[in-house]
Chains A and B, each alone.
Chain A
Amino acid sequence: MNRILCFAVAGLLAGSAAHARVKLVALPERARVVVSLNNPDATLVEEERIITLQKGVNKVDFSWRGVNIDGTSIQVRALSHPNDVKVLNTSYPPNENALVWEISSPAAQEERVRISYLLSGLTREVTYRAVAEPNEKSLALRNYLRLHNNSGEDLTDAEVSVGYGSNFKKTIAHEEVLEMLSERIADLPIRKLLTWDAASQPWDPEYQKNTVGIPLSYVITNDKPSKLGTHTMLPGKVRIFIKTKEQPTREGEQVGEGVAFTGEDWAQLTPVDREMKLFIGQSRDVKVTQRKTKDDKTNIRRNSGNNIVLNDTDEIYKIEIENFKKEPVNLVLVEHVPGYWKMIENSHAAQFKKKDAFTFEYNLTLPAESTGEKKTTVTFNLNRLNVQGNEPASF
C-alpha cells in the first residue's frame, strides 16, 4: 500500500522539537469522518482528530501519499476552543504532499480539530430497482448509492451524506465498491403509458415486415402524493421487475411469489414535481395506423416568375388505433407541425393538449379489446398558414 495519511504534532517549546517534520510527537487516530457528496462535482471529507497541544506554538504536520487530496483545499478548524486556538500559518514543503500548520494554544490541552479537504477518486453512481405490482398501478422503488473508492484512502466508519435523507455510517476501503440502499418507497403510484410518436414510428404497420411495437413507459411523478418530492432525483439506471406467481415445481407445493424482469432505462435528472418517464419495452398488442387524407395548398401567391412564394395548407389526418389487450390502455399520440398553424377541427378536443408551438398530444384511454368496428379513430384538420418552406420545427 502506497498511501499514507500522516498526522503529527510537535510542540515548539522544546528546542529539539523545532524540526517538526521528523520528530513525531503524536499520531492521533481519527475520531470522526464525514464524507459529503452533496456537490456532484467534488467530494468533501471532514475528519476530526484529537491532538494534544502544548502551550505556545505547535507545529502540526499533515501529509498524504497516494491519496487524491486537493492540497489547496485543506483547512483545519479548532472545535474545542475555537476562540483561543489559532492557526497562525500554513507552510508547504517543496515536492511533498504535506503541509505544516503552526497552531497556537494558550494552554497545554487536548483539542478536537476538524480537517476538511476535497478528495477526488471517490465517485458515486445512483441506481434504482423497482418491483411493480401485477396490475402495474404501483411499484416498490429502491434507490441505491454505489460508491467507487479510488481515492487512495480507506474511509473507516465514515458518515456519508448525500444531501438528502439521513447519513449512513459505512466503512469503504480504497479500491472497494460499496452499494448502499439510500431510499425505499413502497406503493409508489405509477402510470403505464404507451407512446406513439408520429416523428419516430411508422405510420402504416401494414407496410412493415415486422410487428411494430409501441414504446411502453412507466411514469413516476417526483411529488408528495407519490411519497417523493423531497429532492431532485438523480440520473441512473433503473431496472424494473414485476411480481409473478411462482408455480410449484413439486407436488404439494403452494403457488409462490416471484419476479420477472420487465426492462430497464436510464432515469433522467428529475426535479421535484416533474415526471420521470422510464421507457422499458414495447407493446405489441396495440396497433396505430396514421394516414394523411388531405394535403391541399390554398391561398397560393406567386411571384412574377410564376413560382409559389407563399401559401396556406389544408391538411386532414386520420389515426386508427386498435387495442387487442383485455384491459384498457393509456396511449399518447404525439404529433409535430412546423411553423404557424391553426387547428380547424378535432375529433378528440378533450384529449388534445398543445405541448409547445410545434407539438401536440392526444392522451387517450383505449377501451379493452377495442378492435375492428370498436377501434378508436382520431381525426384532425389543420391549416398551416403563410408557408414559405423555411418555418421552424423546434425551438
Chain B
Amino acid sequence: MNPVLSAGEKVRKWAGEILPVPTRTLSHLLTCCLAALLVFSVLTPQSAHARINVVTLPDRDTVQLTIYNSADLTLVKETRHLTFKKGINKLEFSWANTLIDPTSVEFRALTHADEVEVQDVSFPPRVANTLEWRINSEFAGDVTVEIRYFTSGISWSADYVCEANRNETQMDFAGAVRVTNNSGEDYENAQVRLVVGVIRLVQEIADLARAGKPGGTPTTLAAQTAPPAAARALRMEAFGAMATADKLAAAQPREIVKEGVSEYFMYTVEGRDTIPNGWSKRMPSFKTDGVPLTSYYKYEKERWGDQVIRFYQFTNSVANKLGKEPLPDGAVKAFRFVSDDLLYAFVGRTSVKYIPINEFVELELGNDLEVSVKPTLMDWQKTDLQFNASGNVIGWTTKETWEIEVQNSKDIAVVVDIRRNFSGDWTLTTQQQYENVDKTKVKFVLPLVPRAKQKFTYELVTRHGTNATR
C-alpha cells in the first residue's frame, strides 16, 4: 500500500518513486520542512526508516494562535484534511527550527471522531523534533483533524496612548495590541486570540521545546531559535502573501472582539493575520474620546524627595466612557494637546498594571516643575520630661510646627495631594482638612486654581519613651 494523502499534494512514494504533482510555491515547501505532517501505511516494513525521504504533507486549512501575555506560551491549533485507510495509519509530525513543546502535541479527529483513535505516539530515536502517531481508523476516506500544541516565542503586549486636552480635564484614550513572533515558524493567515490573565506553568515551554522530545536534553537556545536562511526567504514571501490578503479586506481597522473566560479575558482579532517569524505587528484595539480625566499631583518626601509627581487619573467604567473590558497591563504614553492644530506636548510615559472594569487608575507621569511643595519645620520644642528612680530621662514629648507652601505656577487648575508620614505616638492639630491614610500617614488634598500659592500649618505632638501610650 502506498501513502494515502489528500488530493492535489506533492506525493513521494516509499522507494523514491516520484509521482507527478501540481506546482507548489517556495513558501509552501518550506512550511512543509518546518512542520511536516505525513500519513503513511504501516504495512510497508521499511516505513520506520523512510522518514528522511519525506518532504510532503497536507496543507494547513486553518491556524489559530492563542497567545498568553503572562507566560511565554502560545496555544496553536491547526486543522488539516487527511485521508485515512481502514486499520492502522501512521502519522508523522516534525518541527525543526521552531520552539514547539513536544510534550504538548495533541491529535484529534474532528470528523469521524468515534472511528479514528490514536493508539500511541512515538518519539523516534536519533531524530529530533519528530513524533509519530499510530492511529487506528475504522473509516476509509477524508478526515478533518486538529493538531494542537504549545509553542514559545510568540508574545503579545498592550500599549496605550493618552491624549489630554489643554485643561487636562478630558482625554482621548486609545489601546493597541502588539504581537511579536520569534517562534521560528511563520503562521500564515492565522486567527489570533490574545489572553489577558495569569496562568500557572510548572515548566517553561521554551525549555521543553529545547529538549526536542519528552525528557530530552535541551540543546542551545541559539540552535533552536536562529532560523535558517531559507526561513528568512520564506518570511519575505509571507509578507507578500499578507499584503495580498489585506488588499481584499475592508479598509477599516480590524475589530477586536473581547470576552471573559474564567479568570481570564480573551481578545479575538477579527479576520486572519500573518505575522512572519521575526516580525511584530501592532493593531488598534479601541479608542475612546472624551474620557473624564483628573490631573492630580502628589508629594511625599519619603517616596519622591522634593519632587512633585504628576498623575492622570481616570476610571475604567461605563460612566467614564470606558468599562467595556478590563485593560491588560502595558506601556502608556501621555501627551497633551497644546495648540489649536493639535500639536503635542509630551507629558510622560509609564506602565499600567492590569485594570479590571470599574477600577480607578492612576498613571504616574513624572515630575512637573511647575507645581511645587515646600515643607518647613518652623518650631521644635521638647517638654514634659520624665525621669526614672536613678534620675535619667525616660520620657519626653516633642512639638513640631510645620509650614507647608504649595504652589501652582501652571495656567490650569490642579489638585495636589500631600502625604506626611509620622511615627510613634503622635497627635496632629491643624486648621487644614486632612485624612488619615493609616496609623503613620496623613493626606492633605488641596485644589489649586491657576497660578495660585497656598500655605497651611500643622502642629505635630509626639510622645516619646514612657510618655508614649501607643
Contact = CB atoms under 8 A, between A and B. Distances in A.
Interface of A: 12-13, 15, 18-21, 34, 36, 38-42, 44, 46, 56-57, 59, 72-73, 75, 77, 79, 86-95, 102, 104-106, 116, 118, 161, 163, 231-232, 234, 269, 271-273, 301-305, 309-310, 339-340, 354-358, 385-386, 388, 391-392, 395
Interface in B346-368: 346-349, 366
Nearest to B369: A232
Nearest to A395: B377
A159 to B, nearest CB: 9
B345 interface: yes
Contact of B378 (A272, A302, A354, A392): A354
B249 A272 contact: no
Interface in B273-291: 277-284
27 contacts: A12-B247, A19-B243, A39-B346, A41-B348, A42-B349, A57-B247, A72-B159, A73-B349, A86-B251, A87-B253, A88-B253, A90-B283, A94-B277, A161-B338, A232-B369, A232-B370, A272-B451, A303-B387, A305-B390, A309-B393, A310-B385, A310-B393, A339-B382, A355-B376, A357-B379, A357-B400, A358-B380
Given A92-B279, A94-B278, A388 B251 contact: no
A13 B279 CA distance: 23
A77 B254 CA distance: 18
A163 B345 contact: yes
Nearest to B306: A269
Given A92-B279, A358-B377, 11 more contacts: A12-B246, A19-B239, A38-B338, A88-B253, A88-B254, A92-B282, A161-B345, A303-B390, A303-B391, A303-B392, A395-B377
Given A12-B247, A73-B333, A88-B253, A356 B377 contact: yes
A272 B235 CA distance: 58
Nearest to B269: A89
Contact of B391 (A42, A88, A93, A309): A309
In the complex, which of the residues A88, A105, A163 has the most CB atoms of chain B within 10 Å of its own CB atom? A88
B409 A232 contact: yes
Nearest to B251: A104
A94 B244 contact: no
Interface of B: 159, 161, 180, 235-236, 239-240, 243-244, 246-247, 249, 251-254, 277-284, 331, 333, 335, 338, 341-349, 366, 369-370, 372, 376-383, 385, 387, 389-393, 396, 400-401, 407, 409, 451, 453
A118 B390 contact: no
A91 B240 contact: no
B281 A91 contact: yes
B380 A357 contact: yes
Contacts of B277: 94
B263 to A, nearest CB: 29
Contacts of A305: 390
B247 A386 contact: no
A356 B391 contact: no
B333 A40 contact: no
B335 to A, nearest CB: 8
A395 B390 CA distance: 32
A271 B409 contact: yes
Contacts of A309: 387, 391-393
A163 to B, nearest CB: 7
Given A89-B284, A93-B278, A42 B247 contact: no
A46 B335 CA distance: 12
A376 B180 CA distance: 77
A265 to B, nearest CB: 20
A271 B407 contact: yes
A75 B284 CA distance: 12
Nearest to A93: B279
B244 A18 contact: yes
B241 to A, nearest CB: 8
B281 A340 contact: no
A386 to B, nearest CB: 5
A38 B14 CA distance: 72
A43 to B, nearest CB: 8
Contact of A231 (B281, B391, B409): B409
B346 A388 contact: no
A114 to B, nearest CB: 8
A386 B389 CA distance: 19
B247 A56 contact: yes
B147 to A, nearest CB: 27
B246 A36 contact: no
Given A18-B240, A340-B382, A72 B331 contact: yes
A195 B180 CA distance: 62
B391 A301 contact: yes
Contacts of A161: 338, 343, 345
Contacts of A310: 385, 393
Nearest to B375: A395
Nearest to B409: A272
B278 A388 contact: no
A42 B346 contact: yes
Contact of B390 (A19, A79, A93, A304): A304
Contacts of B161: 75
A309 B243 CA distance: 86
A339 B382 CA distance: 8
A54 to B, nearest CB: 10
Contacts of B159: 72
Contact of A59 (B236, B243, B393): B243
A102 B344 contact: no
Contacts of A89: 253-254, 281-284
B222 to A, nearest CB: 15
B312 to A, nearest CB: 14
A19 B344 CA distance: 33
Question: In the complex, which of the residues A87, A91, A269, A355 has the most CB atoms of chain B within 10 Å of its own CB atom?
Answer: A91
Most chain B CB neighbours (cut-off 10 Å) among A88, A89, A90, A357: A89
A161 B391 CA distance: 68
Contact of A392 (B244, B380, B453): B380
A94 B385 CA distance: 72
A340 B377 contact: no
From A44, A79, A94, A305, name the one whose CB has the most chain B CB atoms within 10 angstroms.
Answer: A94
Nearest to A224: B451
B54 to A, nearest CB: 30
A15 B243 CA distance: 9
Contacts of A39: 345-348, 366
Contacts of B254: 88-89
A104 B252 contact: yes
Given A56-B251, A91-B280, A44 B382 contact: no
A36 B338 CA distance: 10
